Amino acid sequence: MDPNRRSVLKGLATAGAATACASAPAMARQRKEAPADALGLLYDTTRCIGCKACVVACGQANDLAPDTNDPETAHFNPGLYDAPTDTNGSTKTVIKLYKKEGDPQTSFMKSQCMQCIDPACVGACMVGAFQKREHGIITWKGDLCIGCRYCQMVCPFNIPKFEWNKANPTIVKCELCRHRLAEGKQPGCTEVCPRQAVIYGSREQLLAEAKARIAANPGRYYQDRVYGENDLGGTQTMVLSHVNFEKIGLPELGEEGVPDRQQTIHHGIYQGFAAPIALYGIFAAVLWRNRRREAAANEEGR
């Protein structure tokens, strides 16, 4: 008995869905751990006064040109004020202000690379230009980069920036002033902060300090939680905040790192190649149906 066209398509679709959602467990990816000598930052919104000394110090420490052409501030007096509103090709860190009508809470937020333990940028970089290197700091090598900018697209914090205004552009992001660390100094931003709103140290020390502040001031910080302890697989730049993390630009995406989630999904879909085979079967059935229709139409036209 010839199979009905609809039943063939339905069967193949069911098979594809079943294989894609098969109960057999996908291959688990081993969770990344911070290296023993991991360094990082701890930023506390309750201590920040928004002076932006850290932004200026970062530019000076990294020989960045003054950012006087920010589209949101340059209209006041183009080329005069060094007042970036976001990270870009000449700004590696910036202080943002959360303020919204109807919400009594306001907060400053220091934006820079979070130095993820399992970084999306490293996972997406097909040529190894982005890697976690010494002290777990994510660094970029220009001689390897092909300019695909996948690192920009996958970063959940929107940090890596491309120098669109240069003929030989680079990818710009905070590398924790590693050139200063090599000289026994601390990052430029932490050196000048008058309120120690941002401090530098080993991840282990910073995490202990963050938990000590929470213990000394229960209820002062949002959910009495350290953002970055486990978020997105953990980060080496961590944040204490008195307002909702998402309001200040820190996404709540669970404890699974981006590469971890991506690889788990891929393994689930391609396990045993059952789902691709089923999909190819569906395409073949559609092709077969269309050719039968074409043949029938030609037969009627004779």
> Can you say whether residue 171 is alpha, beta or left, with left for phi > 0 and alpha for psi between -120 and 50 degrees?
beta
**Residue found under tokens 């949002």:** 222
- The pLDDT value recorded for residue 204 is 98
Q: Which residues pair with 206 in a beta bridge?
A: none
Q: Calculate the average pLDDT of the chain.
A: 87
- The pLDDT value recorded for residue 86 is 92
Whole-number Å distance between alpha carbons of 85 and 72: 7
Residues of the chain with pLDDT under 70: 1-28, 71-79, 265-276, 301-302
Helix (H, G, I), strand (E, B) or coil at 157: coil
* 237-275 pLDDT tens trace: 999 999 999 999 999 999 998 888 777 766 666 666 666
- The pLDDT value recorded for residue 164 is 87
- The pLDDT value recorded for residue 110 is 98
Type of residue numbered 162: F
Whole-number Å distance between alpha carbons of 209 and 233: 20
> Can you say whether residue 133 is alpha, beta or left, with left for phi > 0 and alpha for psi between -120 and 50 degrees?
beta
* 71-109 pLDDT tens trace: 666 666 666 778 888 999 899 999 999 999 999 999 999
Instruction: Give the angle 38-39-41 at the CA atoms, nearest 5°.
Output: 135
- The pLDDT value recorded for residue 2 is 47
